[in-house]
Amino acid sequence: MLNAAETAALLRQFDQVLILTHVRPDGDTMGCAAALCAGLRRLGKCAYLLPNPELTKNCTPYFRPYEAPAGFTPDKVVAVDIATLGLLPDNARPYAGRIDLAIDHHPSFEGFGQACLVRPAAAACGEILYDVLAALGPITPEIALPLYVAISTDTGCFAYANTTAHTHAVAAALLSTGIDYQGVNKVFFRTKSRKQMQLEAAILGGCTFYDRERVAVLSVPLSLMEQVQASESDAEDLSSLGALIEGVDCAVTMRELSPDVWKFSVRTGSRVDASRVCQLLGGGGHAAAAGCTVEAPWADARDQMLAAIAQVVPDFCR
């Protein structure tokens, strides 16, 4: 395991570098890759990002300018924010056995890569990249802007519990380069699609409460998705909605995948073990976030979930 200075020293020896990102790419993997590429080029090196087939609209402006042309043959391969080789996109598979350096922050990192720098305490992989790039030279705006994307998106704009003093210290250094962080905040945190808005309105309007209003059930039937003509990305963040409601410590979101097939997402506070609840219905997950799938008409499926919660929570009130 390397530290940031050792990683910087290793990168100084690299050239003809290809940088890999993970499937279902988020702002952290995309931003880290772009920032590292900018940093290596600043040192006069040839560096590119492997195109990611699932590149998202919001990340395109940061990622696209660094994409490798067809036929680029790398001498060195670096993976950023990738916990396991199983998370490589299909077009990255040929490089799975020859990754020279892996930089990651997942506790589940699987130890691939000739060399690696892994810090599970980092809220975002972007925080680690900052330390590495700062050891390579001054942080320019070209480096700072994608790093801000990486760090802000992985921390919910500094609101999630993973945010640390180091996260804010890095953000301070990035902002001091004069980047347009406001544009990033607007696009990633202060914009919703109209269809997202319509879905949220319908789902909140139809929300039902149980167990002295501590349990909220939010439903996303197929009919609603069709009525709004919503896409997957419009429905992406809905399962976090119920947990915002004051007094609710068990938010259940029921999404109809196909007629009468309901995918449950359960988000809970410390009173309710979501994992145990979902295990009773054939699913699983973590104590605060778990899921399962139930085949039944809506009311039946809901009743099965309420019965499972009642079985796990001693003070459930009918």
Q: Which residues of this protein are in contact with a copy of itself, per CB under 8 A?
A: 157-161, 163-169, 171-173, 175-176, 181-182, 185, 189-194, 197-198, 200-205, 207, 209, 213, 243-247
Task: Provide, rounded to whole angstroms, the least separation between the CB of residue 249 and a copy of itself.
Answer: 11
Cβ-contact 41, 136 below 8 angstroms: no
List Cα–Cα distances, 172 to 127, 140, 161, 164, in angstroms: 12, 14, 19, 13
DSSP per residue, 99-124: --EEEE--TT----SSEEEE-TT-SS
Comparing CB distances to a copy of itself, the nearer of 5 and 201 is 201
Task: Provide, rounded to whole angstroms, the least separation between the CB of residue 312 and a copy of itself.
Answer: 22
Rounded distance, CA 312 to CA 238, Å?
Answer: 25
Comparing CB distances to a copy of itself, the nearer of 107 and 205 is 205
Comparing CB distances to a copy of itself, the nearer of 18 and 203 is 203
Rounded distance, CA 265 to CA 242, Å?
Answer: 10
Length of the chain in terms of residues written:
318
Comparing CB distances to a copy of itself, the nearer of 33 and 170 is 170
Comparing CB distances to a copy of itself, the nearer of 52 and 163 is 163
Comparing CB distances to a copy of itself, the nearer of 72 and 160 is 160
Task: Provide, rounded to whole angstroms, the least separation between the CB of residue 127 and a copy of itself.
Answer: 12
Task: Provide, rounded to whole angstroms, the least separation between the CB of residue 248 and a copy of itself.
Answer: 8
Rounded distance, CA 52 to CA 50, Å?
Answer: 6
Note every long-range contact of 286-290, with CB atoms under 8 Å and residues 24 or more positions apart, other chains counting.
289/265, 290/266
> Does an H or E element contain 27, and which?
helix 27-42
* Residues in CB range of 238: below 8 A, 6 or more apart: 199, 200, 203, 218, 220, 253, 255
* Residues in CB range of 179: below 8 A, 6 or more apart: 141, 144, 145, 148
Rounded distance, CA 292 to CA 305, Å?
Answer: 10
Task: Provide, rounded to whole angstroms, the least separation between the CB of residue 186 and a copy of itself.
Answer: 9
Task: Provide, rounded to whole angstroms, the least separation between the CB of residue 145 and a copy of itself.
Answer: 14
Task: Provide, rounded to whole angstroms, the least separation between the CB of residue 216 and a copy of itself.
Answer: 9
